[in-house]
Amino acid sequence: MAASVWAATAEVLAAEFSDVPDLPQVLRIAVRLLLASVLGFLLGFEREQHGKAAGVRTHMLVAIGSAMFVLVPQQAGIAPADMSRVIQGLVAGVGFLCAGTILKQGRDEQQVQGLTTAAGLWMTAAIGMACGLGREVTAVLSALLALAVLALVPRLVALLERVVGPPAGEGPKPRVIAAPEDAPGRR
């Protein structure tokens, strides 16, 4: 009796874990998910080093999740037309997540925070998606470009601002002198 219970249990477990038929497929999945997590780590580490709320764990989870959302349907043999709907849903869902990172304080556009975090998470999702689809070189190149944008572009902008001056509306405020008819005590 006990032997048949163990045999039945082993049979059920084998059937449940049969979604990957062979070792090459296991390695393919492992490479894609591992690469997504590593690239998410790199982007998240850069953000965390700058004190941003969405750091290493958030970026890693977004990258791995995005890879999974395209990898599983691909494994199931989904048609390319249907995969486009999966990708559309993923992009919209991540966009909703990113919107939650944006804060607007006050009335002017200078008091909006979180736009770069939102864009970074959106980019991380795209990189994870590329990993899940087996586009590893595209994912690596995109991650390197994103890191360059996050790390080098602020330095380039600071250098250019020293040459051409700050953006309009951010320079020193001109001193306003009241006209005699506007002076206090005059009517």
- pTM of this prediction exceeds 0.85: no
Q: Which of 111, 147, 159, 119 is nearest to 38 (CA)?
A: 147
Which tokens is 49 given? 């080093």
pLDDT in tens, 97-123: 888 887 767 776 667 788 888 999 999
Q: Which of 153, 152, 131, 156 is nearest to 141 (CA)?
A: 131
CA angle 43, 45, 51 (to 5 degrees): 110
- The structure tokens 């590329």 sit at 130
- The structure tokens 């990898």 sit at 71
pLDDT in tens, 60-96: 999 999 999 999 999 989 998 899 999 999 999 998 8
**Which DSSP state fits 134?**
T
